[in-house]
Structure 1
Amino acid sequence: MHFVGARTRRLHRWRALAVTVGLLLASTWAAVVLAPVRADEGASVAETADEGKRPAYTVTIEGVEDGGLSDLLERSSQLIALKDNAPASEAGLVRRITDDLERFRIVLRAEGYYDSTIEYRIDRTAIPANITVVIDTGRGYRLTHYDVTFSDGSSPDSSGPTTQPSAEPIPPPPPPPPLSNLGLKLDARVRSAEILMAEKRIFAALADAAYPFAKLIDRRVVVDHRDQSVSVDVAIDPGPFCRFGAVSFVGLIGVHEWYVRSLVPWKEGEPYDQRKVDAFRGTLAKSGLFSSVVVNPAKTIADNGTVPISVETIEGNQHSIGAGAKYYTSEGPAGEVFWEHRNMFGASEDLRITLEVGQIRQQATVDVIKPDVYRPEQDLLGEVKATRQKTDAFDELGASILAKIRRPLSEHWTGSAGGSLEWSQLNNDEDGTITSTLLGIPGTLERDTTDDPLDPRRGMRLRVDETPYTGWSDQAAHFLVSSVGASSYLPLSENKRYVLATRAKIGSIVGASRGDIPSNKRLYGGGGDSIRGYEFQKVGPLDDSEKPLGGRSLFEASAELRAMVWGNLGLVPFVDAGQIYTPVVPDFSENLQWAAGLGLRYLTVVGPVRVDFAFPLNPREHVDDLFQFYIGLGQAF
């Protein structure tokens, strides 16, 4: 296979020099750079009369405008690395300089500068002495030709077993990937690291196409100083066509082998695909069951043309306990404790029991997750909950049970659907005491591209919830609860210490009047997880006693500037806004309730500790307090 490129040769001209050279490998460069410095010899340098110490020196590199190249040169320099350890003699210093010049030439050639010149000078009058290295990189040589040839040793007859477990014809090796897939571009400056990386990508493409034992036969590099070009010819033996062999496991104790085997994404006898091996390794690593996972394909092909796979694991701690606490001005203190078992029955079943105790709500929850139900990455979720809460809007004593299926739809999308049964005894000033029994069908669609669940600094989140309910609440009740929420996280600096975070949410209940909707299903606003600066549930319609009535539609929005100003300590100025409406869609007939505030964040290993002070900007007379105060774990959104 050939890629278009110029290869004119006029060897009779004295300026033309086409030299066949072996490519300067990055590994060779590293070996030179990391080679130990020789012991300095020669006459002693005169010591300063007043200090009696060896002279130190400074190093300046001039003539290199490329910041990346300058960094490479500085990292390769023993002069710079040892500048606080002066040589014992003038000859030792000169030897250290000349050794560095050779390192610099290697770096320059590896970066495509084959015609560079390097000079140095020592200013002995300076204190300390100054060594200046002047580099003229010259013009970067261009890659004008890149060719990959596969040898004839790709068939089992020449480089592998003569038998295959299947009568299917053996496919030939795939063609070499195009230059764009190899990270190369003709007429661009040639770099050794990019040439080597291109070879790795060729080997990876072969391993993905059932040729995992490819090897390099020859790499021929021609540097043409006449037109400052470089051509590369690579010969590769793809090796034999391979199929997946038997999978063996080592280290399984509490985890059932049948379960881990069910996660293997290939069948024995299938054409080998390195991508599936990598995906299997990732699945085991993300399961939370193992502290170490090693998936080892055999180094050689078996006689039957297969590659056996060994899986070595070390099981991690599968139990955990934890606790958390928060304090919101209008909700008072609250704390929770939990106990979790991540391998309850030997197949990665997760059982979590949580007890929450607060001034407003007391709740016990049992969550169960059964992974990989009927297909990989499809989970069955179950939840049983008992709740007692007392708010200004209503008092509730209730219990619920939920079951649903959750599965990824793509890399960033996740969907879930199921059923729920909820029983509640409710009491409020408007309705008195009623009993509500509801059957729901909750469905959720989520998209998440963020980089951290507790402290996102890049990406977006989108969540759509739809739950139709039917049942009895003093009378027949049929309604649909819907909400759409989105948040975005935009880093304002390269190190992501300054992040602009925004969010918006809209909600609606259709199918019933507000009075026919149980009070614990109506929409409310206000509080540390909603519209900061206002009391819990106090945004929206109020009765004559200034108690929340709830509504059928909701709108919320927030914006924060998350600035890590000193180490793990950050400042977060923020603005929140929102309102609750009686109509089924927000009609903005009532002004939004606005609030602003300032927060502190302290980063810990379990997430940021959040402290927020929020002030209502358009407080309602005799309703809203001067400020609200919040302490919790994790970002506000």
Structure 2
Amino acid sequence: MLVAFVAPQALLAASPALAQSTQTPSSSPASGTAAQPATQPTNEAPQSGLLGPILDLFNPSRVAAREPPTIDATPYNLSFEVKSTDRDVRSAVEDASNLERLKARPPAGAAGLIRRALSDGPAINAALYSIGYYGSNIRITVAGNSPDAPNIFDIVETSRKRGPVPVVVTVDPGPLFHFGRIAILDANTRRPLPDAPSLASLGLQPGEPALATTVVRSETVLTNHWRDAGHPFARVVDKDVVADHAVRQLDVSFYVEPGPRATFGRFSVNGADFLTPRFIEDRIDIAPGTPYSPDVLNRLRRRLLEYESIASVRIIEADHLDPDGSLPITIEVSPRKPHYIGFSASYSSTDGSAINGYWGARNLFGGGETLRLDAQVSWFGQKSDAVPDADPFGYKVAATFMKPGIITARDDLLASAAVLREVTNAYVREAGTFLAGIRHRFNDEASLQISIDLEQSRVEDTTGINDYFIAGVPFEFNYDNTDNRLDPSKGIRFTGIAEPFAQLGDANGVPTLLNARFSTYYALDEAKKYILAGRVAAGSMLGADLYDIPPQRRFYVGGGGSLRGYDYQSASPRNEDGIIIGGRSYFEASFEARIRVTDSIGVVPFFDMGSAFASEAPDFDEMKYSAGIGLRYYTAIGPLRFDVAFPLNPGPDDGSYGIYVSLGQAF
């Protein structure tokens, strides 16, 4: 069995409430609301505790039970009579009903019940509009009478003496409407706009169900279409929405004012006093006269936020163009706290446990520099197969430094050094490491880093104790055009490394490491509820025999970061005694279907394959396979991952399943 857990450094959650108002073909009477009087809380309500938010998610009555009781509560029995066999219609009605949503919390007095009943009509009507029903007939009765009857309060008071007040919601949704005539017109000339987006891209094709939500969403699509085409002041001025009941169609006319086409003009910066002069200006690589594009501004914002010293970036577009047709832009930045501390922890039944404490400094010398110091202690949790009498205790003390703009604004200096002791099933290592290089950013998506890689180590494995000196020059190319670092829905990622070694243990000549990783992501729908994700990785050590390569520089496969369901490093070559020794090449591949069930919950069926090989090139006849299912809980900083994986062709030394918990997707 394999159980792995990674505790993130910080876990933030946000639950923003979004509200929108739309014009609809018909109107409904307004309704008011009244505040509930305060009372003393009860001591018998269930407590929230650590798991309270999760329990509340699946049992809303817990929330109601924790609230103080209502004074003069008026219980009621609610029933729905929906004249439709369509489940979506009934769900829309019940989800929109205040009477249904708040039935566990009886209202205060007869007036409270009547207010609740009156608010249901407009809410249900709007919900039916959202799914394409514009001819509905909604009737609500309280104790057999209309809630606006003259003597309704007396009727309710009489009824409540006999028990809960009966409330009946009767809904005849009428026929489903479809889109009819759709027009995208110039707001000034009232003539069709020639460069308008297609109706298919708006979801407004004639004959399709006329969802009100699609109409509302189309306004944003229209505005973004013209803004993307270089019109910063584009807007939908008005729209006509007409429900033709005779033919059961919804005709929609949008009146759009694209506004003038613009170029980027002067950029001004506010709030950057905490950085060296022109730090922000030097990183605005948008030349005056460049055609206006909101995507260009978004990429600039994301690029500036990659600097740890900067807490926020706000880009403000002017409300007018300069005489030359250019748009002035103001960039406001704010600093993050200069110092931070924290800790992280991990657990695995085979990899061992670790606790890490760290201290960091941001904007160390005023130029955006960062320094982080880490101190980690670890416990392997079992005897190493290669060194059974080894102390399972490990440690790592490390320092990482980054200096932006070492040569130009596109060039950053990165350096890290560490002293460590590492215990695995294949070897036990004590080492000092140093890596320093310069990373050049070609653009927002591509970068190349050239470094110096040094290591002095003492390693014990099945061959005994050996001292190794390693000196290499890694070239690392990265390309990433995904839309989200922790939870991408589109784009690709690629990392390629070529590292020739001047010294690599006992290897002669110039052995060279080649390693590449590629992943791609594709959303099947606009709401990004269904995402396909794939990953392929492969590597080889050229020009060196297996036992001439230091054990820590060989390839290993197995575990949550490579082949789920198999123990750490277990899908790797072994010696005649069955002890893991690592390989000269490897291959891995993964496929996931990421499915959102709700806004915060998702399931992920997945399939992994991979293995390390003693040969210089992968031997696909020795591949290992696994499959499993994952659960995702989506937070403001990324998904919380829980995966269960099962080996499909396990060997005699492999476990039966693996469990993994971490922050972020598997890849």
1:443 maps to a residue whose letter is E
TM-superposed CA distance for 1:577, in Å, is: 8.9
Q: Deviations over 1:71-116 (max 9, x none)?
A: 5544655555676327637xx9789767754665565567654444
Given the alignment of the two structures, is residue 470 of structure 1 paired with residue 502 of structure 2, yes or no? yes
Given the alignment of the two structures, is residue 263 of structure 1 paired with residue 260 of structure 2, yes or no? no
Distance of 1:560 and 1:95 partners within structure 2: 49
Distance of 2:346 and 2:485 partners within structure 1: 21
Distance of 1:514 and 1:175 partners within structure 2: 63
C-alpha change, 1:569 and 1:113, in structure 2 (3 Å) is closer
CA contact (8 A) 1:489 1:501 kept: yes
TM-superposed CA distance for 1:185, in Å, is: 1.2
Aligned residues: 568
CA contact (8 A) 1:151 1:238 kept: no
1:584 maps to a residue whose letter is E
Which stretch has the larger CA shift, 68-77 or 253-262?
68-77
Distance of 1:272 and 1:480 partners within structure 2: 46
Distance of 2:294 and 2:395 partners within structure 1: 51
Residue 440 of structure 1: aligned partner? 473
State which of 380, 396, 400 in structure 2 corresponds to 1:367.
400
Distance of 2:541 and 2:407 partners within structure 1: 34
Distance of 2:174 and 2:631 partners within structure 1: 50
CA contact (8 A) 1:469 1:478 kept: yes
Residue 227 of structure 1: aligned partner? 247
Residue 130 of structure 1: aligned partner? 167
Matches within 5 A, 1:283-432: 283-285=303-305, 287-302=307-322, 305-326=325-346, 334-358=354-378, 359=392, 361-371=394-404, 380-387=413-420, 393=427, 396-405=430-439, 407=441, 416-426=448-458, 430=463
TM-superposed CA distance for 1:581, in Å, is: 4.3
**Partner-residue secondary structure (3-state), 2:295:** helix
Matches within 5 A, 1:591-630: 618-619=651-652
CA contact (8 A) 1:26 1:110 kept: no
What is the percent sequence identity of the aligned residues?
25
Distance of 1:222 and 1:613 partners within structure 2: 54
Which stretch has the larger CA shift, 513-522 or 326-335?
326-335
CA contact (8 A) 2:572 2:583 kept: no
C-alpha change, 1:488 and 1:80, in structure 2 (3 Å) is same
State which of 142, 164, 170 in structure 1 corresponds to 2:179.
142
Distance of 2:229 and 2:433 partners within structure 1: 54
1:352 maps to a residue whose letter is R
1:88 maps to a residue whose letter is A
Distance of 1:539 and 1:208 partners within structure 2: 50
Distance of 1:628 and 1:147 partners within structure 2: 57
C-alpha change, 1:96 and 1:610, in structure 2 (3 Å) is closer
Residue 150 of structure 2: aligned partner? none
Distance of 1:236 and 1:627 partners within structure 2: 61
Residue 56 of structure 1: aligned partner? 76
Residue 521 of structure 1: aligned partner? 553
Which stretch has the larger CA shift, 549-558 or 223-232?
549-558
TM-superposed CA distance for 1:36, in Å, is: 1.3
TM normalised by structure 2 equals 0.64
C-alpha change, 1:103 and 1:598, in structure 2 (3 Å) is closer
TM-superposed CA distance for 1:58, in Å, is: 1.4
C-alpha change, 1:203 and 1:54, in structure 2 (3 Å) is closer
Residue 8 of structure 1: aligned partner? none
1:510 maps to a residue whose letter is L
2:549 maps to a residue whose letter is I
Distance of 2:628 and 2:126 partners within structure 1: 57
C-alpha change, 1:81 and 1:597, in structure 2 (3 Å) is closer
C-alpha change, 1:258 and 1:202, in structure 2 (3 Å) is same
State which of 32, 38, 42 in structure 2 corresponds to 1:36.
32
TM normalised by structure 1 equals 0.66
TM-superposed CA distance for 1:26, in Å, is: 0.9
1:402 maps to a residue whose letter is A
CA contact (8 A) 1:383 1:403 kept: no
**Partner-residue secondary structure (3-state), 1:585:** coil
Distance of 2:309 and 2:235 partners within structure 1: 36
**Partner-residue secondary structure (3-state), 1:508:** strand
TM-superposed CA distance for 1:211, in Å, is: 3.1
Q: Which has the higher contact order (CA 8 A, sep 6+)?
A: 2
Matches within 5 A, 1:271-282: 271-282=291-302
C-alpha change, 1:446 and 1:133, in structure 2 (3 Å) is same
Distance of 2:603 and 2:243 partners within structure 1: 56
CA contact (8 A) 1:505 1:557 kept: yes
CA contact (8 A) 1:596 1:617 kept: no
TM-superposed CA distance for 1:60, in Å, is: 1.4
Q: Deviations over 1:544-574 (max 9, x none)?
A: 8x8765442446789999999xxx9999999
Which stretch has the larger CA shift, 58-67 or 386-395?
386-395
1:582 maps to a residue whose letter is A
CA contact (8 A) 1:33 1:103 kept: no
Q: Deviations over 1:224-254 (max 9, x none)?
A: 4443444444444444444444333333342
CA contact (8 A) 1:210 1:241 kept: yes
RMSD of the TM alignment (CA)?
5.9
Where does the alignment leave 5 or more consecutive residues of structure 1 unmatched? Answer: 1-23, 40-51, 155-172
Distance of 1:324 and 1:449 partners within structure 2: 27
Residue 584 of structure 2: aligned partner? 552
CA contact (8 A) 2:272 2:280 kept: no
Distance of 2:558 and 2:607 partners within structure 1: 13
Distance of 1:207 and 1:595 partners within structure 2: 47
Q: Deviations over 1:154-193 (max 9, x none)?
A: 9xxxxxxxxxxxxxxxxxx982222233332123343444
**Partner-residue secondary structure (3-state), 2:553:** coil
TM-superposed CA distance for 1:634, in Å, is: 5.8
TM-superposed CA distance for 1:511, in Å, is: 1.2
2:510 maps to a residue whose letter is H
Given the alignment of the two structures, is residue 26 of structure 1 paired with residue 59 of structure 2, yes or no? no
Residue 88 of structure 1: aligned partner? 110
TM-superposed CA distance for 1:146, in Å, is: 1.4
CA contact (8 A) 1:152 1:237 kept: no
**Partner-residue secondary structure (3-state), 2:280:** helix
CA contact (8 A) 1:502 1:560 kept: yes
TM-superposed CA distance for 1:140, in Å, is: 1.2
**Partner-residue secondary structure (3-state), 2:195:** coil
**Partner-residue secondary structure (3-state), 1:58:** strand
Which stretch has the larger CA shift, 352-361 or 29-38?
29-38
CA contact (8 A) 1:33 1:77 kept: no
TM-superposed CA distance for 1:471, in Å, is: 3.3
TM-superposed CA distance for 1:135, in Å, is: 1.2
C-alpha change, 1:225 and 1:556, in structure 2 (3 Å) is closer
Where does the alignment leave 5 or more consecutive residues of structure 2 unmatched? Answer: 1-19, 36-71, 145-158, 379-391
Distance of 2:594 and 2:401 partners within structure 1: 35
Q: Deviations over 1:598-630 (max 9, x none)?
A: 99999999996999999996547xxx9x99999
Residue 585 of structure 1: aligned partner? 617
CA contact (8 A) 1:436 1:474 kept: no
Q: Deviations over 1:428-472 (max 9, x none)?
A: 67587555343333435576969774x999999776544332337
**Partner-residue secondary structure (3-state), 1:151:** coil
Distance of 1:133 and 1:432 partners within structure 2: 82
Distance of 2:612 and 2:493 partners within structure 1: 23
CA contact (8 A) 1:577 1:593 kept: yes
**Partner-residue secondary structure (3-state), 1:369:** strand
Distance of 1:194 and 1:558 partners within structure 2: 36
1:85 maps to a residue whose letter is P
State which of 167, 183, 186 in structure 1 corresponds to 2:203.
183
C-alpha change, 1:578 and 1:248, in structure 2 (3 Å) is closer
